[in-house]
């Protein structure tokens, strides 16, 4: 009797090892995630997926009030939160809070964000670190507070702004080791999710991200220029490109995007551009009006037919 040796082209899965692994084919990382390193961190939860509707009177609106209480939004009604919080550094809209009080203020907002996100919904926070004497690692404090509130951290993006960095001369001691100072040309986008790492899509909404976008946006360094405060009319606007990228990566068409610090309306514009819905909060009356006007102008341009639509072919 002749025995035939049957070979399979199926690749074996990889496992976490002492030396790491270059591949990720059916990768089994159980040993790593059950190690003591992860003992004290929030765990993924088995929860029923719930998605409630945002009332029509609050959808696609910028609400002029504090996001510390988002009573207009039901539990589990938002798919993505993307924002850049006020930095408490003396801008005209800032309050002069202690670091502890500032963190408590933000935590009241993040707690509401956690409530209104659907299971698996994501929170993306754009933040820069502050000062030099000493340096305030604001991103580290926000990570600590979000984990304390039960968010699962998914990663962080380094936003490389070097191409638009100004000609600052804040070098400290020029060409001397006595006191040189680093110039930040980056900011962070901190990424978290609620309850679970994945997000269900029971309504079968469409993905709109292209192959090339996906490959580009799943890398942890994003390079694009910052936005001109003078051009926008707000002292600290982030570019539309920032929320647009998070919306493309983390939401489906028709989802709801929240910005609890709407500022000049950039997140709302990115949502409209991506065919998503939005809800914004902005406590400053003048900036709420600015955001509303900018959103209306963009909607007119976005919905206006092109000349080619009227040209015979």
Q: Tell me, what's the pLDDT at 60?
A: 97
Q: Distance between terminal CA atoms of the chain?
A: 73
Task: Report the alpha-carbon distance of residue 38 to residue 157 in Å, rounded.
Answer: 22
In a 13 Å sphere around the CA of 304, the CA atoms on its Cβ side amount to 8
171 vs 78, which has greater pLDDT?
A: 78
Distance of CA 260 to CAs 5, 51, 212, Å? 63, 19, 30
Structure confidence by residue, pLDDT tens digits, 52-71: 999 999 999 999 999 999 99
According to the model, what pLDDT value does residue 168 have? 63
Is residue 108 within 8 A of residue 70, CB to CB? The reply is no
**What percentage of residues in the chain have a pLDDT greater than 90?**
62
Of 249, 132, 231, 118, which Cα lies nearest the Cα of 189? 249
pLDDT value at 266 more than 70: yes
Q: Exposed, middle or buried by CB within 10 Å (0-12, 13-18, 19+), for 254?
A: middle
Return the pLDDT at 4.
46
Are 155 and 191 in contact by the 8 Å Cβ rule? The answer is: yes
Q: Above 70 in pLDDT, residue 213?
A: yes
pLDDT of residue 120: 98
Kindly tell me if the per-residue pLDDT of 14 is higher than 80: no
pLDDT for 31 beyond 50: yes
Q: pLDDT band at 307, cuts 50/70/90?
A: very low
Q: What angle do CA 179, 183, 185 make, to 5 degrees?
A: 165
> What residue ranges do the domains of the chain occupy?
55-164+183-304
Give residue 49's pLDDT band: very low, low, confident or very high (50, 70, 90): very high
Higher-pLDDT residue of 313, 39: 39
Among 8-17, 196-205, 280-289, which is the least confidently predicted range?
8-17
What is the pLDDT, as a whole number, of residue 302? 80
Give CATH for domain 55-164+183-304.
3.40.50.150
227 pLDDT exceeds 90? no
User: Whole-number mean pLDDT of the chain?
Assistant: 86
Over residues 241-252, the mean pLDDT reads: 97
∠ CA 149-151-154, nearest 5°, is 150
**Residue 107, pLDDT above cutoff 90:** yes
Q: How far apart are CA 105 and CA 85, in angstroms?
A: 11
Cβ atoms of 251 and 267 within 8 Å: the answer is no
Round to whole Å and give the CA distance between 110 and 258: 12
Instruction: Work out the average pLDDT over 225-237.
Output: 66
Predicted confidence at residue 229, as pLDDT, reads 60
At 126, is the pLDDT very low, low, confident or very high (cuts 50, 70, 90)? Answer: very high
| Cα gap 32→36, rounded to integer Å | 9
The residue with greater pLDDT, 112 or 28, is 112
Q: What is the pTM of this model?
A: 0.86
């Amino acid at each position: 009797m002749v025995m035939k040796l049957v070979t399979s082209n199926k690749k074996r899965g990889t496992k976490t090892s002492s030396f790491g692994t270059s591949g990720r084919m059916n990768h089994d990382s159980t040993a790593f995630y059950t190690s003591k390193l992860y003992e004290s961190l929030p765990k993924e939860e088995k929860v029923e997926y719930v998605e409630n509707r945002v009332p029509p009177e609050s959808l696609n609106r910028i609400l002029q009030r504090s996001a510390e209480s988002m009573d207009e939004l039901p539990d589990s009604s938002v798919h993505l939160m993307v924002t850049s919080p006020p930095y408490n550094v003396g801008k005209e809209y800032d309050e002069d809070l202690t670091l502890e009080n500032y963190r408590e203020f933000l935590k009241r907002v993040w707690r509401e964000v956690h409530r209104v996100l659907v299971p698996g919904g994501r929170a993306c926070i754009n933040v820069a670190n502050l000062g030099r004497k000493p340096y305030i690692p604001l991103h580290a404090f926000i990570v600590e507070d979000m984990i304390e509130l039960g968010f699962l951290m998914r990663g962080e993006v380094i936003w490389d702004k070097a191409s638009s960095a100004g000609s600052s001369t804040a070098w400290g001691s020029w060409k001397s080791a006595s006191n040189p100072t680093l110039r930040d040309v980056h900011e962070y986008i901190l990424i978290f999710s609620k309850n679970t790492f994945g997000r269900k899509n029971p309504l079968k909404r469409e993905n709109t991200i292209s192959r090339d976008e996906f490959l580009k946006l799943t890398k942890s360094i994003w390079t694009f220029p910052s936005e001109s405060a003078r051009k926008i009319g707000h002292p600290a606007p982030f570019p539309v490109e920032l929320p647009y990228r998070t919306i493309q990566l983390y939401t489906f068409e028709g989802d709801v995007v929240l910005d609890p610090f709407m500022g000049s309306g950039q997140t709302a514009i990115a949502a409209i551009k991506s065919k998503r819905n939005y809800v914004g909060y902005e406590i400053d009356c003048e900036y709420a009006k600015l955001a509303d006007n900018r959103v209306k102008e963009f909607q007119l341009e976005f919905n206006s037919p092109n000349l080619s639509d009227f040209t015979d072919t």
